[in-house]
Amino acid sequence: MTTTAKPSVQHEDEQVRVTRWDFEPDTRTGRHVHEHDYVVVPVVDGRISAFAPDGTVTESQLRAGESYARPAGGEHDVVNTGGTWLAFVEIELKATSKAVA
């Protein structure tokens, strides 16, 4: 069994990157830094733990369709700790739209 979650970029342009992450139980993203603000949309209910470089562990219960947003700069390794398959869609906001005057 693989220990790494499977990312699949579904869309990317100058403004956003949309990635679906699929996790078998106990798989992880690997340590990474978020370069952009982002939104996560869980596909199914599940539980994750985020391990920060300073040793802090943040546990989260995900609910299908209940989105959350985080600012750029976060560094962590996300692990599926729920015991069942898990998936979410991550939307990275690479640039903001400018209103047309």
Give the start-to-end residue ranges of the domains of the chain. 6-93
Q: How confident is the model at residue 68 (pLDDT cuts 50, 70, 90)?
A: very high
- Say yes or no to pLDDT of 2 above 90: no
- Say yes or no to pLDDT of 29 above 70: yes
Task: Decide which of 3 and 88 is more confident.
Answer: 88
- Say yes or no to pLDDT of 1 above 90: no
CATH 2.60.120.260 fits 6-93, yes or no: no
Provide the pLDDT for residue 97. 52
Q: CB under 8 Å to 82, separation ≥6 — which residues?
A: 25, 46, 47, 48
pTM above 0.85, yes or no: yes
- Say yes or no to pLDDT of 78 above 70: yes
Provide the pLDDT for residue 96. 62
